Amino acid sequence: MTTSKKKEYIEKYYWAIVVIFICLILILAIFFNILGFLSKLIILIILIGISLILGTARKFLSDWFLFLSVVYLSDTLRGLIYYLINRYELPVYCEYVFKLEKSIFGTIPSVSLQKLLLGDGQFTWFEKVCTALHGTHFIAFLIIGFFLWLKNSGLFARFKVSFYFLLTVGMSLYALVPTAAPWMASQMFGLMPPLVHFNIELYTMYLPDLTSGFNTNPVAAMPSLHAAFPFLCSLLLWSKYKFKALPFYIYTGLILFTIVYTGDHYVIDIIFGIVIAIISYLMCINILHHRTSDKKRNLKIKHFILRPDIIAGVLILTFSIFATLTIKPKLKEYYVYQFSNLNFVDFINHPEKADSNYKIAIFLGDHYSSQGEQEGALCFYQKAQILATTPTEKFEVERKIKRLKLQTKSISGQISKMEPNLLKLLLAT
């Protein structure tokens, strides 16, 4: 079979294969409870395999290497940003988006949806499907990108440039304005009725051991790249295929619904994600329109690795791998603390908010305890003790107070043991 025939055959059945793949994911989700973050590595192996079948592996490497390196870097940066936030106690925000959401809608849509669909708190096939759809976010854009690469090189160029811009803006905002998701605002601070972060509870692994980066940051709610990625792909597909790509537009709508229902994002996060996707798309058109057209060079294999994009990709990949191996152990450690080490300035700078909120008092107690400030921690634990209304809350805060007093007693004992030696040292001098 010739290369053109192979390409025609794959193009003809491409979406049938994708649909079968998604159906398989849904079957595993519903009937076997096998739910996990879908690694980009899986889909990447499939795409490389297709390019090998087509005999276009070199072209695939040429067109994709830098882009995939940047995607790898963005995954790594998510975790790296979270590491730096913890390491240097950078400000983290919670209330601004919550207040904005409530002022616009009069309620929190995530809360309303869970009240309507998850009233008894029992997970059904519907929550499993939502969780599976949530996982497809991490690979769907690669599937679309590969389709564009097969069908339209010009549109694929738009795809890459727009994603470069989107990822740059997204990562920058994650670093500049770290923002807690609805589930965190609910579970940690009680700012709204209880929200179940059910996709995390249903995933078979909480912190996946990704070789392709960290891909985790619990304070990366604003903007929603979960919304931006499929919406940007929808814009690209619309520019060429209009209503022929209707199934993907439906998929995008389902993703938007899912991330609100799971409590991962506010609607405001989604709106900002969509706005950034639109700006990225318009910027890519402008960049490609004004870019000077350069003739394609037929480079020999021995010169291939000297291309600037290949060199840049290698450098990006090297940095990402180094960062992953260096910081990941510490990143896992930060999760053990249950986010008490985060510098939520909304509450740390306004401790009076703990006077009427049990969960804020607990958070501040945990925060100061992790900082080694026992007196401050005890003060907030005592406030929480007064505010506790349920047996569970009373038991929780009593346990924390008891543990804190034991720690304080242990530290005092260590100091008293040191005093005689210190006295001897002073006398000797």
Closest by Cα among 143, 139, 137, 145 to 164: 145
Residue spans of alpha helices (H) in 177-266: 182-189, 198-202, 225-241, 246-261
Rg (CA), the chain: 26
**Ramachandran class of 242: left when φ > 0, alpha when ψ lies in -120 to 50, beta otherwise:** left
C-alpha 194/C-alpha 372 separation (Å) is 30
Residue 244 is given by DSSP the state G
**Which class in CATH covers the domain with range 354-428?**
mainly alpha
Instruction: Please report, to the nearest 10 degrees, the dihedral formed by the alpha carbons of residues 119, 123, 128, 134 taken in order.
Output: 50
The neighbour count for residue 13, using CB atoms within 10 Å, is: 11
C-alpha 216/C-alpha 234 separation (Å) is 25
Return the domain boundaries, the chain.
3-336, 354-428
* pTM (2 d.p.): 0.86
Closest by Cα among 36, 336, 66 to 201: 36
AA identity, residue 102 = K
CB contact at 8 A, 273 and 147 = no
Would you give per-residue pLDDT tens digits along the chain (429 residues)?
Answer: 666 676 676 767 777 777 777 777 777 766 766 655 555 667 777 788 888 888 888 888 889 999 999 998 998 899 899 999 998 999 999 999 999 999 999 999 999 999 999 877 788 889 988 888 888 887 899 999 999 998 888 899 999 999 999 999 999 999 999 999 999 999 999 999 989 988 877 765 433 443 333 447 889 999 999 999 999 999 999 999 999 999 999 999 999 999 999 999 999 999 999 999 999 999 998 888 766 444 444 444 455 566 888 899 999 989 988 988 888 778 877 876 668 789 999 999 999 999 999 999 999 999 998 888 999 999 999 999 999 999 999 999 999 999 998 887 765 555 455 555 544 544 454
Burial bucket for residue 146 (CB in 10 Å: 0-12, 13-18, 19+):
buried
The neighbour count for residue 18, using CB atoms within 10 Å, is: 18
